[in-house]
């Protein structure tokens, strides 16, 4: 119930500040176009006038794709480097926008109308870029540390298991357990970083280490509520993905121009929904943080 209340509250905030959804979606759409253009031109050159493209229209036939990959391997290698650079740019741009997004959400809570103007939004983006960049760097360090820890523990575990001569299901369950453990740790770090960003826009004057500590303190005090909210948001995301899966399967049945246009629309609608849903998640978590602050004060 508490989870649902915060998610609904988040929805209201995002509805009032709907231009944020447009910004998040257009950011993603624009960069996706940038990523797509070189690849699409390669595809067009390979299949533009070849009957092989007709086969791809019917179904994802791998034969033309295998030949395409071999005959364009040099271009694809170059494209790989391009993707790497573009990915870094994407992350930096995202960090830039995050300051504005979080600040708008944080101060939009409890207000009856949109809480920002374009000038304000861009101003906040610039103002928080430095600290969001640091938070981004800290996240990378934490994720890498978790990964390294996972590898070390896995190897230790494997040695222990093999030393005891354990085989069969023990090994399988151990592998599954390890993967689940890693995923859980990564999600926990992810949750911690979201609250760090919220704290960063609420307490502007504090240093990064203090912000990280404050977010950690908040999580310690409201751990189960924060986790249930995070889990609720994740379940919602899975439902949205499931709905898309069913829709796109339906659209792929008859490859006519109409179904392809419908498929495109469904895909973009889902992309828009995911942008909206992420902001709802941020707003819900910000709401939870503010509720705790209110009690403390």
Partner 1 sequence: MKVRFQIIFSAILWVGSPLLPPFSFGQEGPAAPNVASYRIDVELDTDEKKLYGNEIITFVNISNTPLDTLCIHLYPNAFRHEKTTFMKECPRWYRRRVAKRKKWGSMEIINIETTRGKNLTDSKIIDETVMKVPVPQPLPPGQKIELRIEFTVTLPWIIARMGYRGEHYSVGQWFPKMCALRPDGSWVAHQYHFTSEFFANFGTYDVSITVPEGYIVGATGYLEEETADGGGTKTLQYHAESVHDFYWEADPDFTVTQERCGDVEVSFLCLPDHRRKIPRVMKAACAALYYYGEWYGPYPYKRLVITDSYLGAGRGMEYPMIVAVTLSWFFPESIRWAEALIIHEIGHQWWYGVVASNEFEEPWLDEGINTYCTRKVLEALYGKDENLVRLFGLTLSHLQYNKAIYLMAPKRDPIVKNSWEFEDFVSYGATVYGKASLMLETLEGYLGQEVMRRILRAYFERFSFRHPKTEDFIETAEEVSSQDLDRFFEPWLYSTGVCDYAVTSIESRRTNPEEGADGFTAQRYRTKVRVERRGEAIMPVEVLIELEDGQTIAKDWDGADRWVEYEIETGSKIRSAAVDPDNKILLDVDTNNNGLTTKSQRLALFKIGSHLLFSWETLIQWLTAF
Return residues touching partner 1 (CB under 8 A).
28-29, 31-33, 35-36, 39-40, 43-44, 46-54, 56-57, 59-60, 62-64, 66-71, 87, 90-91, 94, 136, 139-140, 143, 162, 165-169, 171-172, 190, 193, 249, 252, 255, 257, 260, 263-264, 267-268, 270-271, 274-275, 278
Nearer to partner 1, 33 or 221 (CB): 33
Burial class (CB in 10 A: 0-12, 13-18, 19+), 42: middle
Q: How far is CA 279 from CA 9, 11, 35, 81, 275, in A?
A: 12, 8, 24, 31, 7
Answer whether 28's CB lies under 8 Å from 271's CB: yes
To the nearest whole angstrom, how small is the minimum distance from the Cβ of residue 46 to partner 1?
6
Nearer to partner 1, 22 or 166 (CB): 166
To the nearest whole angstrom, how small is the minimum distance from the Cβ of residue 159 to partner 1?
11
Answer whether 279's CB lies under 8 Å from 297's CB: no
To the nearest whole angstrom, how small is the minimum distance from the Cβ of residue 224 to partner 1?
23
Answer whether 140's CB lies under 8 Å from 201's CB: no
Nearer to partner 1, 122 or 146 (CB): 146
* DSSP letter assigned to residue 97: H
To the nearest whole angstrom, how small is the minimum distance from the Cβ of residue 209 to partner 1?
19
CA distance 269 to 275: 10
Nearer to partner 1, 32 or 221 (CB): 32
Nearer to partner 1, 96 or 114 (CB): 96
Closest CA to 124 of 95, 105, 99: 99
To the nearest whole angstrom, how small is the minimum distance from the Cβ of residue 107 to partner 1?
22
Nearer to partner 1, 22 or 32 (CB): 32
Using DSSP's 3-state secondary structure scheme, residue 117 falls into coil
CA distance 225 to 227: 5
Q: How far apart are the first and last CA of the chain?
A: 24
To the nearest whole angstrom, how small is the minimum distance from the Cβ of residue 73 to partner 1?
9
Nearer to partner 1, 2 or 87 (CB): 87
DSSP secondary structure letters along 162-180: HHTT--THHHHHHHHHHHH
To the nearest whole angstrom, how small is the minimum distance from the Cβ of residue 113 to partner 1?
28
Contacting residues for 279 by C-beta, under 8 A, at least 6 apart: 10, 14, 20, 21, 24, 101, 105
Structure tokens at 58: 């019917």
To the nearest whole angstrom, how small is the minimum distance from the Cβ of residue 184 to partner 1?
16
Nearer to partner 1, 106 or 191 (CB): 191
């Amino acid at each position: 119930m508490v989870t649902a209340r915060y998610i609904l509250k988040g929805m209201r905030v995002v509805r009032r500040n709907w231009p944020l959804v447009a910004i998040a979606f257009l950011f993603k759409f624009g960069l996706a176009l940038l990523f797509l253009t070189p690849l699409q031109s390669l595809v067009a050159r390979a299949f533009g006038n070849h009957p092989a493209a007709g086969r791809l229209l019917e179904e994802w036939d791998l034969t033309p794709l295998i030949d395409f990959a071999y005959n364009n391997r040099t271009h694809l290698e170059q494209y790989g480097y391009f993707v790497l650079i573009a990915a870094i740019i994407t992350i930096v741009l995202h960090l830039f926008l995050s300051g504005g997004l979080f600040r708008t959400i944080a101060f939009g809570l409890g207000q009856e109308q949109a809480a920002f103007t374009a000038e304000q939004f861009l101003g906040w983006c610039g103002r928080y870029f430095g600290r969001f960049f640091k938070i981004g760097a800290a996240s990378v360090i934490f994720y890498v540390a978790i990964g390294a820890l996972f590898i070390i523990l896995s190897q230790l575990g494997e040695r222990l298991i093999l030393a005891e001569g354990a085989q069969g299901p023990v090994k399988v369950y151990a592998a599954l357990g390890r993967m689940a453990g890693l995923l859980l740790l990564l999600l926990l770090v992810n949750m911690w970083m979201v609250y760090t960003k919220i704290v960063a826009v609420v307490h502007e004057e504090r240093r990064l280490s203090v912000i990280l500590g404050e977010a950690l303190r908040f999580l310690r005090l409201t751990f189960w509520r924060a986790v249930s909210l995070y889990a609720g948001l994740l379940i919602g995301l899975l439902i949205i993905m499931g709905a898309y899966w069913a829709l796109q399967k339906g659209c792929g049945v008859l490859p006519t121009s109409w179904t392809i246009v419908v498929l495109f629309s469904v895909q973009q609608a889902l992309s828009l929904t995911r942008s909206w849903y992420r902001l709802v998640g941020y707003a819900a978590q910000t709401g939870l943080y503010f509720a705790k602050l209110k009690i403390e004060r």
